[in-house]
Structure 1
Amino acid sequence: MIALPPKFVAFDLETTGLVNTKDEIVEIGAVKFTVETDPKGWVVPKLISEFNTLVNPNMMIPEEASRVNHITDAMVKDAPPVGECLKKFTAFCGQGSILLAHNANFDASFLRVAYSKNPQFIPGNPVIDSLVVARTILPELENHKLGYMAGLFMKRGEFTMKIDPAKMHRAVYDCEMLMEVFVALLRRRLKEKDWEMGNIMASMAKYKGVPQFINK
């Protein structure tokens, strides 16, 4: 039993493109979770709550972006502006949680720009890049995409979530997948006491899980 487990928020953004200085966020998704020990003695994720909002980017969504994330101009026409969405995202994260993103440099950079354009309280939570952790723990994999690793863990009986390719590249679904993959990755290396709130940051740092911050 983990004495005082940490809280994580796995988050993901969908955007109009890849350049944070000219492209905009069109969806923010996040899942808050902690970890517990199951009857087999495995450390498994325990979902607490989910957050999802479409965002009006105040620009046309390029066709190539819509092909990837399946988000159209019509879907975001009546969505709230990004400043309003950021306030809700900040409140959802809370002050005590550890943020996770797969390729965190991308997502964190878009959030930095968005918060700077919409002055408000910026969360000071540490942000861990699960992609770097995955490459460190499993360097032998041919790629480290979430879907690929999820399929691998499923074959090994270490992943219970059903994979639906039609839902991939939508924010909340990708966050649920990240939650499962991240715990499966670290379960291979960490002991039960390593998961405790007082130890988890140092435990992740051993596998290059060194935090960055949105407010720096």
Structure 2
Amino acid sequence: MRQPPVEEEGFYLSWALLIQTSLLILSLCSSYYLQLKKIRAIHETVISIFAGMFVGLVIRMSPGSIIQDMVTFNYSYFFNLLLPPIILNSGYEMKKENFFRNLGTILTFAFLGTFISAVVIGVLVWMLSALGVGSLSLSFLDSMIFGSVLSATDPVTVLTIFQALKVDPKLYSIIFGESILNDAVSIVLYELRINIKK
């Protein structure tokens, strides 16, 4: 792939920044409008997802790959810049007495539930691979690694809806605590299976 000149790269970089900023502004405006009009039939995350899918489709169908390369997801920015404030804010606002009162339930869902989910997904993927569905060709260990990655659910949308509907704080704390701890369990399972593979 050829490198564009500096002026052309600046031009495409400004377009990429405009696209991402416009999506962010659209998301914030739609959230404000839905809250202002008290529309409960649709959640703002649904609008954000569909707007992102539409813009992504337009970018993917456009000729050239310079803008596509500039708007690709960079996980290091997400993990180092965006995720820590979200987790810290959620942890700070959570009622700690509800978390510790339901610690047994949270640990059961997080450890046992994530382990069962990882094993079930891994075995199902391995069975599909063994049956030759599509062009899937994975070993048992690779299937289990995939299962451990996929078993970490992230109920951000569910928690947002719970907060908007003001559900029982006990239910909120159980789901929030489980979502934090199942990520840790999934990372441990993933690292364990990667180390076994080596």
Measured against the shorter chain, the TM-score band is: under 0.3
Greater helix content:
2
Q: Which has the larger radius of gyration?
A: 2
Q: Larger strand proportion, structure 1 or 2? A: 1
TM-score by length of 2: 0.24
TM-score of the aligned structures, taking structure 1 as reference length: 0.22
